[in-house]
Copies of this chain bind each other. A is one copy, B any other.
């Protein structure tokens, strides 16, 4: 893997976190640094549990609780955002005051794809207006089958069960 703009991007975000920590009277720690780096390197929508597992491979001394608390901290600082989809697990996505976006969620493989749509933003305003409602934000989730899984589905047809939603093992 070649180092590109990504490194500096991450460096920038880590600076952002440090500022946040200093302002809030929090302390910079080895754990927070490792967890933040690992989180930022895993673009996507990750659960605290998943991130913990990834980290604990290399750092057996870092506990789940610290990963959990650091993700909360990242959320407060604006570097992460919490998302809950229909499997009821809390996921964190890397977030840097980007524009609002929404999600496509595959019912088969669980893949989560982000999208932005200006018309959707406008529509929110219109709908709210009809109810004299003052909108602050919204959540739009489209559930269905992604390109890859759609093919599978067509072939396997009446195959047993859908593969996901294993909320409780």
Contact = CB atoms under 8 A, between A and B. Distances in A.
B140 A145 contact: no
Nearest to A84: B88
Contact of A139 (B133, B136, B139): B139
Contacts of A107: 136
Interface string A130-141: 111111111111
A143 B139 contact: yes
Q: How many copies does the complex hold?
A: 2
A131 B143 contact: no
Interface residues of A, number: 34
Interface in A66-122: 84, 86, 88, 104, 106-107, 113, 115, 117, 119-120
A146 interface: yes
Contacts of A128: 104, 142, 144
8 contacts: A104-B127, A128-B144, A132-B150, A133-B142, A133-B150, A138-B140, A140-B140, A140-B141
